Amino acid sequence: MTSFPKIRPAVEKFRAALARRKEAKDRSHRRGVSESTSSSLGVKNVNAPIPPSPWGLPVEIQIKIFGYCDTTDFYRLKLVCKSFNALLLLNEHEIVRQYLRQRRHGTLPSPLDEKRTYTRNPEDDMVLLSDLFPPSKSAKGGHLYTFRYLHELRSRQKQCSKLCYYLADRVMDRFMQTEQVFLRSSFPVKKTERSAMIKRGKTSIWFRLAPLMYYVMYFLQSFASARREHTNLLLRAHESGQLSVPVPAETRRKMYRKLQTQILREPPFHNTAALVATHHCMHLLVSLIRYTMAADTEIDDSWILSLLMWSPFTRIMEYFSAEIGDGGNQRMQRKDFMYNFHRDMTAHEKDHMNSLIFGPANGDTDRSVRDLWFDAASVEMELRKASPHHVETVWTWNGMPIVLGCPDCRPAPGWRA
């Protein structure tokens, strides 16, 4: 028989194992009681399993989620926490591309070409706008898809939309002033129907003009860029002794006409339908500016040329906002517009390079608004045999048409805006 001293170590190990097992059961029991007590008292349990975090989502899914945000949300999200800021900065390129794909039906901005056509549907606004104003090219190749680019796109869209709303408001205001007999006979008692007709007319004209205003903005900015580049070329020619200055006003007018013609013969104006529609929009814009002036005085439209040619696009919007009183204090709005417009003209007059090449800015008094767009577009439409052409018809109430057109349009039934 084996003596006890020999088996004593094995017995002690067995007892220690039993003690450890019992101690583990006691700890488990105490933890269960503690968790039930904490949950009943509403105390957070630090040992509870951590819920899944949104940061654990794949980056591809996070990018798709951010693609549904508005352009103003990205800058606010950067201020939420460092994690958001780091995520947005790291994936800015892909987030912007995803944002554009979702609003361009799966495509990205592409260069304008002769085969591409655009619709006027509101859901296609971003397609047209981002193709007209694509992102800047990177020095390393490709394009710079940044939040700044999205902000600029959204700003352009808002400016055009707001200006179209003002134009629609002025069209219906002129309609009410000139067609009072029609309004009294059609709505003798029910003023609510008259208000509904006016509201529907504004909305219809507003949405009809929105895509056309993108073309107007594109032309004005393209012409401004072409003028700057052409002035730089003339300056280099003058410095090399190949050009005598100042350039006569008539020669400058021919130069500018040639620059405009080059723009009109390239996409998107290579499409005759787009050219004619933009011509109607420009004609409406200028006619409504004239309409806001005093009717009993002779209008000097050279200031309209300056407004469209030398001031930024936002100044046109400021003019109509001040005319309508959209901001509340109409007197202050008009004062601010006049101050800003005067500042634009002063900056143009003090442009040293422009004064060196073309002489003083106030020296050319024989100017007309037709020097911008209208003469060049009329000649181009004649060459394409697009005159006369059809009007733009907007249906407002019970089949009543409002006609947007120009002097070269074919006669059509409806009220001419």
User: Residue 297 has what pLDDT?
Assistant: 60
Identify whether residues 74 and 164 lie together within a single domain. no
Residue 265 to residue 272: CA distance in whole angstroms = 10
For residue 257, give the amino acid letter.
R
User: Residue 56 has what pLDDT?
Assistant: 72
Domain annotation covers residue 9: no
How buried is 200 (Cβ within 10 angstroms: 0-12 exposed, 13-18 middle, 19+ buried)?
Answer: middle
Domain annotation covers residue 61: yes
Identify whether residues 106 and 178 lie together within a single domain. no
* Strands across the sheet containing 415-416: 392-397, 400-404, 415-416
For residue 415, give the amino acid letter.
W
CB 305 within 8 A of CB 368: yes
Two structure tokens written together for 132? 């007209």
Taken as a whole, the chain contains a residue count of 417
User: Residue 396 has what pLDDT?
Assistant: 81
User: Residue 25 has what pLDDT?
Assistant: 66
Identify whether residues 332 and 401 lie together within a single domain. yes
Residue 124 to residue 122: CA distance in whole angstroms = 5
Two structure tokens written together for 233? 């070329």
Alpha helices, DSSP H only, in 240-312? 249-264, 272-292, 302-309
Identify whether residues 210 and 336 lie together within a single domain. yes
Domain annotation covers residue 313: yes
Identify whether residues 215 and 241 lie together within a single domain. yes
Nearest to 417 by CA among 291, 238, 264, 307: 291
Identify whether residues 252 and 381 lie together within a single domain. yes
Two structure tokens written together for 180? 């009072």
Identify whether residues 78 and 183 lie together within a single domain. no
Identify whether residues 115 and 65 lie together within a single domain. yes
Q: Which of 99, 132, 165 is the last residue in one of the domains?
A: 132
Strand partners, 389: 409
Domain annotation covers residue 17: no
DSSP-assigned states of every residue in 98-117: HHHHHHTTT-------TT--
Q: Which of 101, 132, 163 is the last residue in one of the domains?
A: 132
Domain annotation covers residue 14: no
CB 403 within 8 A of CB 391: yes
User: Residue 139 has what pLDDT?
Assistant: 84
Residue 308 to residue 369: CA distance in whole angstroms = 9
Identify whether residues 284 and 366 lie together within a single domain. yes
User: Residue 30 has what pLDDT?
Assistant: 57
Residue 265 — φ and ψ, nearest 5°?
-95, 0
Identify whether residues 156 and 127 lie together within a single domain. no
User: Residue 17 has what pLDDT?
Assistant: 62
Domain annotation covers residue 12: no
Identify whether residues 121 and 174 lie together within a single domain. no
Residue 44 to residue 65: CA distance in whole angstroms = 31
User: Any idea what DSSP says for residue 248?
Assistant: P
Domain annotation covers residue 121: yes
Domain annotation covers residue 16: no
Residue 403 to residue 398: CA distance in whole angstroms = 15
The count of structural domains within the chain is: 2
Identify whether residues 231 and 177 lie together within a single domain. yes
Kindly report each contact of residues 356-360 with a partner whose C-beta sits within 8 Å and lies 24 or more positions away, as own/partner. Answer: 356/235, 356/238, 356/245, 356/246, 357/231, 357/234, 357/235, 357/238, 357/245, 357/246, 357/247, 358/245, 358/246, 358/247, 358/249, 358/252, 359/245, 359/246, 359/247, 359/249
pLDDT along the chain (417 residues), means of 10: 52 61 65 48 50 71 90 89 88 95 92 85 91 91 92 95 95 89 76 85 93 97 96 93 90 96 96 96 95 70 90 93 84 93 92 89 74 96 95 84 93 89
User: Residue 404 has what pLDDT?
Assistant: 94
Rounded to 5 degrees, what angle do the CA atoms 348, 247, 225 make? 45
Q: Note down the domain range covering 68.
A: 55-132
